[in-house]
Amino acid sequence: MSDTPAPELDPPPRRPDNQGSRPSGSRRPTFRAAGRTGDFFDRLQAHYRECRRKDADVEADVRIVLVGGDSDGAEFDRGTARVKNVSPTGALLADVKLSKGAYPAAEFRLELTMRSGGYQGIGFRATPVRFVTAERGIGVKFDEIFIARDAEGGGQTKGAVEGEGAASESAGEQSKD
């Protein structure tokens, strides 16, 4: 080791906008490379989804069920919808047609049973996450997946697979059938 002191170094020059000493173009190649990946682009969008959705065109029966209070589990309305796109965690329902023509002002969830294509009899209990007025639809996050006993999807189940946030009591009751 040498006893000579280390030379003093000047601090790196600062940019006038006070954003650090990095040269102006040094982040650009990284940003361009990251921007080419699908996941990065998804995160830049205003509405980020956990999973990519696939286009679908499946008819479904819809039940609106109230949540909480004295009316917990009470049916508010029923109707039909078209599952426009779907992912492992949610779906977009379009062309929703309800007999009352309105959603409740209270907290609610949806129960939908698909009735066309290879999806006939598959049902979901779901929480609404957004309204899509241009599609006359609603975006939902799946809470529970079930299989309807009859092909018409009367809401009864043979068994259930719980999702994130699903009520374990309802799954326990259904598995007794």
Angstrom distance (rounded) from CA 40 to CA 175: 41
What is the pLDDT, as a whole number, of residue 48? 56
- In a 13 Å sphere around the CA of 65, the CA atoms on its Cβ side amount to 16
CATH of the domain at 101: 2.40.10
What is the pLDDT, as a whole number, of residue 159? 47
What is the pLDDT, as a whole number, of residue 176? 40
Report the alpha-carbon angle 88-93-46, nearest 5.
Answer: 70
What is the pLDDT, as a whole number, of residue 137? 94
pLDDT digits (tens), the chain, 177 positions: 566 776 677 776 666 655 555 555 555 555 555 555 555 555 555 455 567 778 888 999 999 999 988 888 899 999 999 999 988 899 999 999 999 999 999 999 999 999 987 888 999 999 999 999 998 999 999 999 999 876 544 444 444 444 444 433 333 344 343
Whether residue 157 is contained in a domain is answered as: yes
Whether residue 32 is contained in a domain is answered as: no
Whether residue 130 is contained in a domain is answered as: yes
Which stretch of DSSP H or E encloses residue 35? helix 28-35
The string over 95-117, giving b where at least 16 C-beta atoms fall within 10 Å of a residue's C-beta and e elsewhere, is ebebeeeebeeeebbbbbbbbee
Tally the domains of the chain. Answer: 1
pTM, two decimals, is: 0.58
Whether residue 49 is contained in a domain is answered as: no
Angstrom distance (rounded) from CA 154 to CA 133: 28
- CA gyration radius, the chain: 26
Whether residue 43 is contained in a domain is answered as: no
Whether residue 64 is contained in a domain is answered as: yes
What is the pLDDT, as a whole number, of residue 54? 84
Provide the residue range defining the domain that includes 122.
54-174
What is the pLDDT, as a whole number, of residue 72? 86
Whether residue 77 is contained in a domain is answered as: yes
Whether residue 40 is contained in a domain is answered as: no
Contacts of 112 (CB under 8 A, 6+ apart): 60, 61, 62, 63, 81, 83, 93, 123, 124, 126, 140
